[in-house]
Structure 1
Amino acid sequence: MKGGDKMKKLILLMLLLPISLIGCTDEESSVTVGHTTVYYTNVPDAKAEVLAGYLQEEFGFTSDTDILLSMSGNEYEVRIPSSYSSPSEVEESFKVYFALLASRVSEEVFFGSPVKLVLVTHQNDELFAVKNQYSFEKAGRVFVYFKGVDREQAFNLANYLESLVGENYDWDVIFEQSEGVYHVVPFVGINDASELTPEMENSYQSMATELEDVLGGDVVVHLVNFEGYEVAAFEG
């Protein structure tokens, strides 16, 4: 049933290049954790240090990498360098990953404050940007991104999924409700329905059925690939 490791493990080494950003100045404050240095303005020192540690752990940088952090109003902006030189080079899977990361950074670093993640070239030119869209809950290494449902339901979902895959398996799952139906959207490591084996189909169908008891309502499980496209759906 498991679709593979979390999407970041497939793309980070290919798509992120540890690099020094043009635009970092001595006038900014800075903090370094591991190989990650955050240059920041108008942000508390403690927040910058937590962000540096979080991104170092998330990306596992092995060479010195510069991150820019600033704040406008109540929104934090985080500029992250990449090896890309134009927006057309950025793969859809990376955009999906970044959208989820924005929600995690919002909750795990900035306590739910609005966050804008900006992917940039080494010259600090913007490639694309995304804001946090979801609240976030987790159990083990199962990450549930939710909106339109309460946190308790998201926690119940995370715990159920963690009981299936174990505490060390990384899994990203979107959780929403529409017209009285719970939509559970796990990311899986397949590209289309032809790659589903009968055993996988049975497992996901069982999941949809069991989740109706866990969540107390109608459930549809939508499998999506790492680019965010639906592969298959199973009704409870």
Structure 2
Amino acid sequence: MRKVYAISALLLVVVMLASGCTDEGITTEKTLTVNGITVHYSGDVSMSQAKALINFINAELNPDEMDVYVKKENGYVVGLTSTYGSADELEASLKFYLVFLASKMSQDVFNGEHVLLQVLDDEKNVLYQVGSKYRYVSSNGINVWYTGASEEDAQKALNYLLDFAGSGPWDVILEKSGSTYHVRAMSSFTSEEEVNSVRDTYTELVSGLETALNGSVVLHVLDPDGNEVAVFGG
């Protein structure tokens, strides 16, 4: 399928998060530094979690240098230092991406506990924050992020998407409301007119997902900022 869009492509934006900073004004108990990433963590956070967080940030963001502040509070609060000076400077695509980063961090690092992910300025003020919302299943570059639907449903959707597209990168959100599945598919399209140029492909996708999930499917096509540009099915 052409012109699909992966959240991972937004890492070109996320490099703005990388910044070496001091810990002035922040109360922490321990620090761990590996490959330029320093995690400042409280006594309620283990060293193994700090190490896992460093590995996660390396894999997902690959910054040259970054300070990360983590504490256990209603789940976990994780602050990423940045070079942004105000919330207005954060791109819409980055804000959309961060909910997935928080969700993946929750699942991969903190055993599914809630994560509140914060973007900090150089004085450690919170510019933007978002909580984890989804769990995910993934294979061959295709990620299915799900909430309200079961893991079994997510795996069924993923299996079909693998047959349909072969491989990613591609990110798809699966939600269930009543008996209807809402599938939100990332794309690089920015208008309904562009989407209509491949209408038959999306119609085929709806039909295949309905068979795989054995239920009604509404497909929402999203632009790179997460805005809906077209709807199929329903």
TM, length-normalised to structure 2: 0.91
Distance in 1 between the 2:28 and 2:116 partners?
23
Distance in 2 between the 1:232 and 1:26 partners?
47
Distance in 1 between the 2:2 and 2:121 partners?
34
* Contact 2:5/2:186 (8 A) holds in 1: no
Distance in 2 between the 1:149 and 1:26 partners?
39
Residue identity in the other structure for 1:106:
S
Distance in 1 between the 2:223 and 2:28 partners?
43
Secondary structure in 1 aligned to 2:57? helix
Equivalent residue, structure 2, for 1:125: 125
Alignment of 1:122-161 (within 5 A): 122-161=122-161
Distance in 1 between the 2:5 and 2:36 partners?
24
1:47 aligned onto 2:45: no
Deviations 1:183-220 (A, max 9, x none): 1111111111122353x211111010111110001111
Residue 14 of structure 1: how far off its partner (Å): 6.3
Residue among 205, 217, 220 paired with 2:218:
220
How many residues were matched structurally?
232
Residue 227 of structure 1: how far off its partner (Å): 1.6
Distance in 1 between the 2:209 and 2:17 partners?
40
- Structure 1 residues 129, 17: CA separation in 2 closer, same or farther (over 3 Å shift)? closer
Equivalent residue, structure 2, for 1:65: 66
* Contact 1:75/1:115 (8 A) holds in 2: yes
Distance in 2 between the 1:14 and 1:76 partners?
21
Equivalent residue, structure 1, for 2:229: 231
Distance in 2 between the 1:120 and 1:214 partners?
42
Instruction: Percent identity, please.
Output: 30
TM, length-normalised to structure 1: 0.90
Deviations 1:128-149 (A, max 9, x none): 1111112222222211111111
Q: Which runs of 4+ in 1 moved over 4 A?
A: 24-27
Deviations 1:105-130 (A, max 9, x none): 11111111010000111221100111
* Contact 1:36/1:53 (8 A) holds in 2: no
Distance in 2 between the 1:49 and 1:215 partners?
38
Show structure 2 runs of 5+ residues with no match. none
* Contact 2:145/2:174 (8 A) holds in 1: yes
Distance in 1 between the 2:6 and 2:118 partners?
21
Equivalent residue, structure 1, for 2:109: 109
Equivalent residue, structure 1, for 2:6: 6
